[in-house]
């Protein structure tokens, strides 16, 4: 599982960390980092959470550990909101500078998107009626309105 951390470009991430003036800057540049995106793709949210917890348990953390912790949190921000929401809500309890701010940034940038799908019955014109009778197809059959949550 830890092998997946090798995807991280630690040198670039450390350079982002060191010039960061605000948590928003750190969050944004980590999110834009390709290696963080690759980690997010390669690891499930539960894997990322496990690695995060193991890093937190380490007593004497060095800068690599700190940058990895931030990278894991940001990688989790790419995962499904409904799965990682509770993880982010607990970040205030973690004694790492800026994690609480990152939690706020993440939760405030989550956007609820609602969409509905409708039945559309295909009504052929007279000219096309014959063809339609042959194919006799009804398009789109889903009924229930659906809600999803999208990260922006």
Contact residues for other proteins (CB under 8 A)? 14-15, 17-25, 28, 59-63, 65-66, 69, 95-101
Give the strand pairing for 110-115 and 146-151: antiparallel
Nearer to other proteins, 63 or 130 (CB): 63
- Asked if 74 and 30 touch (Cβ cutoff 8 Å), the reply is yes
Of the pair 14, 85, the CB lying nearest other proteins is at 14
Candidates 30, 9, 16; CA nearest to 75 is: 30
CB of 95 to other proteins, least distance (A): 5
Compare residues 24 and 132 and give the one whose CB is closer to other proteins. Answer: 24
CB of 89 to other proteins, least distance (A): 17
CB 9 within 8 A of CB 34: yes
- The residues, ordered by sequence, that sit 6+ positions from 146 with a Cβ below 8 Å of its Cβ are 114, 115, 116, 117
> What is the closest distance, in whole angstroms, from the C-beta atom of residue 108 to other proteins in the complex?
10
In the numeric block, which tokens belong to residue 28?
A: 């944004």
Shortest spacing between CB 13 and other proteins, in angstroms: 11
């Amino acid at each position: 599982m830890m092998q997946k951390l090798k995807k991280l470009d630690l040198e670039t991430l450390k350079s982002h960390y060191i010039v960061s003036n605000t948590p928003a800057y750190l969050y944004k540049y980590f999110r834009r980092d390709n290696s963080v995106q690759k980690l997010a793709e390669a690891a499930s949210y539960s894997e990322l959470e496990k690695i995060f917890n193991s890093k937190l348990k380490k007593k004497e953390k060095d800068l690599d550990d700190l940058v990895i912790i931030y990278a894991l949190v940001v990688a989790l921000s790419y995962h499904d909101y409904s799965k990682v929401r509770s993880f982010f809500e607990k970040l205030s309890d973690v004694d790492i500078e800026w994690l609480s701010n990152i939690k706020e940034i993440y939760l405030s940038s989550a956007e609820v998107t609602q969409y509905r799908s409708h039945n559309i019955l295909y009504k052929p014109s007279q000219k096309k009626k014959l063809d339609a009778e042959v194919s006799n197809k009804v398009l789109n059959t889903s009924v229930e309105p659906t809600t999803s949550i999208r990260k922006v």
